[in-house]
Amino acid sequence: RSLIVGTYKHGYNRFAEMRNDTSLSFTKFEDPTDIPVNIQNDPNLIPQTPKPLEDGTIPPKTLSEGKEQWPSEKILNRRLRKALRLILLGAKSAENSDKSQKRKTDIQEDWSKREKLDFYRVITTHGIRTLESTGQPDWEIIKEQAKLTRKNHTLISEYCANLMNQCKQSMDLGAKDYTDKRTAYLESPSSELEWIGRGDSSLSYAQCKRVLQRVKLFQDLRTKILPKGSDVLDDIIQKARTTTTLPLWWTWEYDKALVVGVTRHGFGQWEKLCTDEDLPFYKLAKQRLALSDGINAMQSSSDTIGNQSPKSSSNTGGGDSEKEDDDSNNPPKKRKRGRQIEIYTTALDFPKEKVLTKRLDYLIKFITEPPKPKKQLLISSICNS
């Protein structure tokens, strides 16, 4: 620091003035032999020459107590250039870091393909959550789940409105007309079809339909079903009919667990739903896994006993043949790629997504609109009374 400040204050290579400047930290240095070139013509800065010895030679000057030897000019100049270079690099790096951080935090009105895809994923998995206090959409949690770090609540709200408008218009047009208009817009964007561009032009008719269905599904679950309370739900769901598309173990308790689990974990998160210890799916899956492990262990033990062969009387080649048999029975494990195996849903033989979708629609309709008693039963009850 003193070297840079001294160069700025006294000039380049003016080390004598720097050493005599008390505001700098060079007073602890002393040159025991040479007089710097830049002070030889200044009698006020030239130190006194020691007296010669008897043989006429001048004794070498020793360092004073508490002093350090002054580096050479070559070393000092090299150090100065290195210090300046490091400072410039540090300033440039800090500037680039600030610009990069600013780009990350800057709000951008344009939506990228990744942002649109993540928004679609969130609303089809969790719907549009609302605040309990105001009933308005909770854009903050949607922003967090979709990782929309460069969008504010206003932009998210506007895009959501545009996307919902696109999905509703696609339903009004129908599959064929919407597909034709979307293809025309992708080939040549026009103001007439700008409602497609303001939403997500990559969405097909089926995806638009899915957005509307999932948003309505979660809205009904959160506003019409769960507010009824656990006891009321138990009384109503027990009367719901079952279908042959559901597993034999499916009872009304699993209907309630399906409603609660989907609201809690999201649609399509079946493995999370089955590993939730608060839901009955978890207990049943653990029982089936334990039973499956026991059966596999018994089969493995019986296979081992059945595959045992008598020891060969010949001593030649016995070890190699046994090793080959072991290798054939235990092929090398291949590295699994792609989606992780869903252990709990597989153990339960969990219903397919299409079956669960229909079941949720039926439960919502059954709970919100209980079936009226048939006229025949009503007349017979009157006659009997």
- What phi and psi values does residue 354 have, to the nearest 5 degrees? -65, -40
Residue 280's contacts (CB-CB under 8 Å, 6 or more residues apart) are 253, 254, 257
pLDDT at 279 over 50: yes
DSSP for residue 315 = -
122 and 145 in contact (C-beta within 8 Å)? yes
In the numeric block, the tokens 């649109």 are attached to 116
The pLDDT of residue 17:
78
**Tens-digit pLDDT profile for residues 111-146:** 999 999 999 999 999 999 999 888 899 999 999 999
Cα 174–Cα 180–Cα 183 angle in degrees, nearest 5: 130
**Tens-digit pLDDT profile for residues 318-329:** 444 444 444 444
Report d(CA 189, CA 196) in Å as an integer: 9
Helix (H) or strand (E) holding 303: helix 280-306
Report d(CA 30, CA 15) in Å as an integer: 11
What Rg, from alpha-carbon coordinates, does the chain have?
41
**Tens-digit pLDDT profile for residues 4-57:** 888 878 888 777 777 777 777 766 666 544 445 455 445 555 555 555 666 656
| Cα atoms in the 13 Å half-sphere on the side-chain side of 92 | 6
Residue 253 CB coordination number (10 Å): 14
The pLDDT of residue 82:
85
The pLDDT of residue 179:
94
How much is the mean pLDDT over the chain? 79
**Tens-digit pLDDT profile for residues 156-202:** 999 999 999 999 999 999 999 999 999 999 999 888 899 999 999 99
CA distances to 23, 27, 28, 34 from 18, in Å: 9, 9, 12, 16
3-class SS of residue 29 = strand
CA distances to 203, 256, 347 from 259, in Å: 28, 5, 21
Average pLDDT for 90-111? 71
pTM equals 0.62
pLDDT at 374 over 70: no
